[in-house]
Structure formats: C-alpha cells, structure tokens
Chains A and B, each alone.
Chain A
Amino acid sequence: MTTKKPQNWPQKLKHFYNKAMLKCTNSEERIEMQNKLKEIIQNHSDQIWVVEWDKFQIPLVSQKKTKKRKKKKKKKKQKTQTQTQTQTKTKTRTSNRKKTKNKKKKKKEMNFGKEEEQKSVPIQNNVGNQIEKGSNSHKKLEKQYPNTFQVVGYNAKSLQLSLPTRPKIFETLHENKKRVFQSENEQDILTQIGDLELNFALKKVRTAQTQPKVTNKSSSILKCKINQPNSKLIDRAKRFQQKQQEISNSSNKLYLRNPETNVVIGTSNNIEKQYLRLTSEVNSLNVRTLKALKGAFANVVEKWNLHRNYDYCCEQLKSIRQDLTVQVIRNNFTIKVYECHARLALINDDLGEYNQCQSQLLELYKLGLKGNVNEFIAYKILYFIIIQNSIDINKLLTELTSKELLDEAIKHAIAVYNSIFSSNYFLFFKLYKIVPNLGIYLINHLIHKQRLSAIQKMITA
C-alpha cells in the first residue's frame, strides 16, 4: 500500500491535506479530520493521482454533532457543496432580500469569509454545467459545456452589500461550518485565478480564519455588535443553531427545501433557461425563483411579440412551467403561464402542447384559481371533437354548471359539436364565421372534412 505513505502522495494531495489540517482548531477536530481524510484517501486509493485534490472538498469537522446524514458519495457531496455555495454568490441583490430565512442564513454563512477579489465563481454541476462571470472564461466554458445557463449580471461587491447583517459573534461560534465554505471558496479560487491572485486569496482566507470576515457596508454594523455580553451571545447562538443545522443538512442534500412542506425552493435567477426533461432529483440551483420566473415570462412575451419564434417561446415556457411545478407554485401566475402557452400552442398548431396545458389548466381551475375558465372549456370541447372522443365530451358536459352552459363560447362549442354530429353543415359554417376567441385554430382542423361532406351532400341532392 504505497499510497498510504504520505511520501508517495502527489503534491496536490499533500496540499489538500495541509489545508484540511489547518482548518482544525483543537486536537479533537484534528483527530476527526485525520480520520476523515484517511477515509477519503482510502476510498480513492486507486485514483490518488487522478483525483483533482485542488477541487476536492475538505470534510466537515464540527464540534457540535449535527444530525446523521446519509452517506452519499463524498465526491458528489463535496461537489454540490461547492455548487450551492458558489451558486448563492451569483445571486442578485434584490433576489437576496426576498429569500427565505433558511437561505438567508445559509448565504450569511457562506458569504462570511468571502474574498473580495472574486473575479470568477465557477459552479461545478454533476451534469457539467458551469456558470462563470468574467468574459473569457465564460466563452471557454461555453465551448466545453454548450448547455450553460446565462447568468443575470451580478456584482461581487453588490452581493456582499446585499448580505443581511449578522452579528459577528455568530460567526465565532460557528466557525467550523463557516470554514468549510471558506475553504471551498479557496478551492474555487485556486482553480480559476492565477498564481498571484492565488496567494493573495490564500492570505485573505487565512486572515479571515483568525478574524471573522468583515464586508464593506456591514462592517460598521458589525462593529457595534462586537461588544455584547456573553450570555446574549450564547442565546443567539442557540437560537440560530437549529437553523444552522437545517441549512447545513439541506446544503448537503443537494437541494433547498422548505422545511414545512418539503418542497423544493428555487434559487436561480436566470431569465432564460433551456428546457431539459427531469431525470434525477431536482437541484434547487437550477430552479428559478418566482420572481425570476415572472421576469422570464415577461421576456418570453416580449420575444414573441418581436420575433414570433414559436420554438424558442415554447421551450422557454416549458421550462417556466417545469420550474413552477417543481416548486409546487399554484397561483394566478401559473394560470397565466399555462393559458399563454395554450394559446400560443393553438395559434401555432401544436396540439400536443396545447393538450398538456389544457389538462393542467382544468386542474388548476378546480383548485379555485381564477382564469378564463369558460374560454378553455370551450377549447376543450372542440379539442375532443377533433380527436373524436365522445365519451369524454359527454363527461365534460355533465360537469358543466348551468352558468357555464350560458356562456357564449361554450354554447358555441356545443353547437359545433351538434352540427358535426348531425352533419348539419349549414349550421357548421354559420358557426365557423363567429368562432369566439381562438377556437378558430381548432376548428380549422375540422373544416376540411366538413367541407367535403357538405359538398357530397349537396351533390346527392
């Protein structure tokens, strides 16, 4: 077992080891860290020269025992920790303010000990997506990983500014966790920045370890809170501790979830996002917040009005819908999105998409949300006529209330059904002239057949 001997380790591994040990403050932690490192090295005994120890995550060693987590593959864990951490750094100011408590705390955590000189913040995803600020590297990555996300512009400084202020004391008590993230910062930096900057960054990290990181705006506020009595510190610590654990747990779980409902909470802020079918568990990094989605939706509408590019709009809308369903957001906004998509699909003759949106919409209406119910019921009837599904039409009709039966669009649709069914082409064409809303796109599917049969009848007579 030559790998076990530290003399045979590659340079990077030695570096990694040193870093990890530097993090420990007392002997207990050191022992723990040593054990963990041993584990890691044993696990990767075959790949010791292959693994990128620069990017490898330093194992978590804490004084206070956190809840037992399932041991996933360490690589994944560590990688995702970098992800979640660095992802939050790329957030904008405004979105930061509106995040949930957990996220706030998490960000606070991560942003303490942050380096000011972060030019590029890479995010490594298991899928291989990388987001980077800084023009050159961005382009490089684009080539490597064509499915990159477009980052909404952010300012590293502004990120720092937008941090919710926290007492400095909080940091000292939870330095271990903080340090984990710090070290990740370091790792990220090491991968991207050149040597000069590396040294500078390293310095920063190490100073931050001894003194808690103080950012620009928050520094003054922090100062005044430094001189608080100990009992208060302890109380605060206790208060925050639980939430800390939650955050750390959640961060290790690869996704952010609302602790009450156990539903994914989005964290991304991209306006555009490619639609990819979900094959694995959802990563909250890729899921957009509600506000971002609203922005995205507005963007899509604009683009449609300008360019009328259905493929693009459809894909964007699909991704918006995906984000909405993943976060189980069901409000008027979801209805707007679905209605818009349904209408677009109708106009562009995309019956498959239309049907999807339609079925979702009807379910949403059942939840009691407001929308153009009658319009879409009418569309549904027409759609059933197209696919000649008479059982479901009957079913749908039985579920209509008397108010809905009086609605023009629905009446029209029923009349169309009657006319087709009884081959009353005169009525059909009359109705064709006065199709309400966008039903005309649906009826166009039927009209050809109807014309033929009408001519046939006229000839026989």
Chain B
Amino acid sequence: MNLSQYFARIKTAVSQNDGETLAELLSYSNYPSLNIRIPTMSRKPSAILTIARKMLPDAWAEIVADFIISQIKLDIFECYEWFAKAMKRFNIIFKTHTNWSLPVLFTFCSTLLKLATESDKEKIAYKQKPEKLEHARELLLQSFKITTNDRKSLDISKKFGAIAVVNSLFFVYFKINNLRMCKNLIRSIETPQFPSLDKFSISQTVTYKYFLGRLALLNSEYKKAEEHLTYAFNNCTKYHKKNKAMILLYLLPIQFLKGKVPSKKLLIKYPIPQFKGIVESYISGNVNEFSNCIIKNQKFFIQKGIFLILENAKFIVYRNLFYRTYKISNINKINFSIFQKAFDIIGVSISLDEIECILSILISQKKIIGYISHKLSTLVLKKDGAFPKLNLITKN
C-alpha cells in the first residue's frame, strides 16, 4: 500500500479507538510486512509530514510521520532519534487518552528498547559512549508517570499499562547497570491502590517477577528471589525456551544453595553450557572440579551476578564430599585425616585445620549433626541422620 492508504488505516483506527490495530500499524517488527511503498521523491521528512497532516489530526500526524521517517532511515542513530521524537509526542497525547491506546504504548516501549540497544551496540563498536539507553530511560519514566498518575476508574484506567513500562525500565536499568531507581518503581507498584498482579497479562507478570527475582538475588534476599523466579519459571510457557533458560540461570544457583540439583532432563531441555561441569561436580562433591568450573566461567558469572552465590555453593560441595566419605567409611567417629585423604583423591591439598574449620561451619549451619573433638581431631556424628537432607534444613 502507499502512504495515503496507510494513513487512512491509521485514521480509522484512531477514530474507532482501536488500540490493537493501531499498535499493529505502528509496530517496528510488523513494519516490513505492511509493505508500504514510499516513492523516493517523498522520502523527505517534510514531505511525509505534509501528507500525514492532510489525512490525520495534527498530533497523530506528527507521531506517525516521525515513526515512518524512523523506519525509512538507514542509520540506526537517526532511526532512534526520530522514533524517540514520535514517542515523546505520543506521551503528550497519551495523557488525554483512556486505556484504549495502551497497546500502542506497549509496542512503542519494546521498539524503543530495541532501537536503543542496537544503537548503543554500534556506539560501543565505535568506542563512543552509549547514551541512547539513558535517553530511552527518560522517555519511559515519562510514560510511567502518566500511567501511574491516572486516577480514573479502573475500567478505563491507564494503570494497566504500568507493568509493561516498568518491565522496560527494569530492562534499561539492568543494561546500564544502575539499579538504584528500581526500588522506587517497585514501591509505586506495590501500593494497595494499584490493581493486583493477576489482572495483568501473564507475559507481563512473568517478566515482572523475573526482574524482581533478579533484584532480590543481587540483594542477597534468597527466599524472595526463589519465590519470584519459581513463579516466573512455572508460569512461563514452554514455547519460550529462551526465556525459561534465562530464568533458570538465576534460579539454579539459589537451588544449589538449598541442595536441590537440576535433573539431567532439565539441563538438556534448557541448556546452559556454563552449568554443565558445575552440576556434576556438585553432586559428586568434587570441590576441585567445582572451583575450576567457576573460575573458567568467572567473567560470565560475575556479569550475571551469580558468581558469589556459586562460591557459597562450594560449602555444600564440601558437605557432599564429607557425606560420601562417611558413607564409605561407615563409622560414626571419623578422624580428620580420613577426610584429608578424600581431599587428596580429588586433588586438593588441604590442612587439618582447614578441614576442622569447614566442618565447624557446616555444623553451625546444621548441615552436619555432630560435634568436633578437637583433642582427638575427630568428628563425632549422630548415629542416624547425621547428614540431614539439605532441603529440609531450616536456616538459623
């Protein structure tokens, strides 16, 4: 279709307050399929704007014109710039709308993110400062304020757009690695006046929970993190494998701390290559392997923020090692030297003091039930159930 037909379609959508078709028409990913033919003569911004103004009311004309110009431009920076203009203008008229234009908001948010990340990649490739995400953040904050400050009744309230915007904002914050403002966003959503999460679409809630889980993880709030991430994982459809793998990436380390190990099936389904060696060594108690695997992928883990959790999971690997030696020796009183031999088999040289230390830590964490006789350098274990199941242990 040509430009005038396209504009006509938009006009009808606007007049009918049809948010969804409008969103389709104004979607970045959908644009190629629309197959809009624009003659080279009228590829200038001014030309497009004049055509738009003839057909559409002023405000919308500018928005749509900017959108199309951004699609035409070949340079990703200009693409972003024009789209940002469009979004800015949309924010202005969005204030006056009821929630019919929410779908448009959603598509705009996702397009903004895509364009911003791509242009930032380019900038990094040219060794310049990536600033588009910052700019995107400001636009998104505007939209967020509009959505949350809407005081109309719930059926026409724009609050239902808030979570999508919040998700985009989380995305931006995680990318620019500045998580301080996230708390404010969460606070404004967790207020009692805000509609509860089940009234939103599943996709939005899942992403929201995913981000919440990640934040809690970075704050070392493991229970909360686990809650959020399991919710996200369970409610994420099987068709979104990539997403599920991403959730798992953060969920597994927490489970490690709990003592839960992912089954082989799970790992095959959602492969995370970095976790391969870790899981095996974790089960067998091979501390050496475990630490080697961590060091190999250290940078990856640090970037994801799970490095420290995995380091802590080491203790459970120790526990597993001790458990195995106990099983093999089958005595209640085990001398430290036996443990030392176990370590030698793995290939780790460790002093008796260190063994004693680790054991004392594990005992204090109630992962081993027994006591240490310092004089005799032995660990005295309870007769039955000296190594309680990890997932049954409650934290101090």
Contact = CB atoms under 8 A, between A and B. Distances in A.
Interface of A: 390-391, 394-395, 397-400, 402, 405, 417-418, 421-426, 456-458, 460-461
A460 B312 contact: no
B52 to A, nearest CB: 43
Interface residues of B, number: 29
Contacts of B315: 422, 424
Nearest to A456: B364
Interface stretch (B59-67, B82-90, B297-305, B329-337): B297-305
A425 B363 CA distance: 14
B16 to A, nearest CB: 47
8 contacts: A391-B180, A394-B305, A421-B311, A422-B315, A424-B361, A425-B361, A426-B353, A461-B371
A251 B351 CA distance: 74
Contacts of A390: 218-220
B360 interface: yes
Given A422-B314, A426-B353, A460-B363, A395 B179 contact: yes
B395 to A, nearest CB: 12
Contact of A461 (B178, B303, B312, B364): B364
A421 B359 CA distance: 17
B219 A458 contact: no
Contacts of B307: 397
B47 interface: no
A398 B177 contact: yes
Contacts of B220: 390, 421
A397 B300 CA distance: 11
A400 B307 CA distance: 13
Contact of B360 (A397, A398, A402, A461): A461
B358 interface: yes
B219 A391 contact: yes
B134 interface: no
Nearest to B311: A418
Contacts of B298: 405
A422 B319 CA distance: 14
A402 B298 CA distance: 9
Given A395-B179, A421-B308, A457-B364, 17 more contacts: A391-B219, A395-B178, A397-B302, A398-B305, A405-B302, A418-B308, A418-B312, A422-B311, A422-B312, A422-B361, A424-B361, A425-B357, A425-B361, A426-B357, A461-B360, A461-B363, A461-B364
A361 to B, nearest CB: 19
B372 interface: yes
Given A422-B314, A424-B357, A461-B363, A405 B299 contact: yes
Contact of A399 (B177, B218, B314): B177
Given A398-B305, A426-B353, A460 B360 contact: yes
A398 B177 CA distance: 9
Interface in B159-214: 177-180
Contacts of B131: none
A207 B308 CA distance: 82
Nearest to B309: A421
B354 A426 contact: yes
B317 to A, nearest CB: 12
Q: Which of B218, B353, B358 has the most A CB atoms < 10 Å from its CB?
A: B218
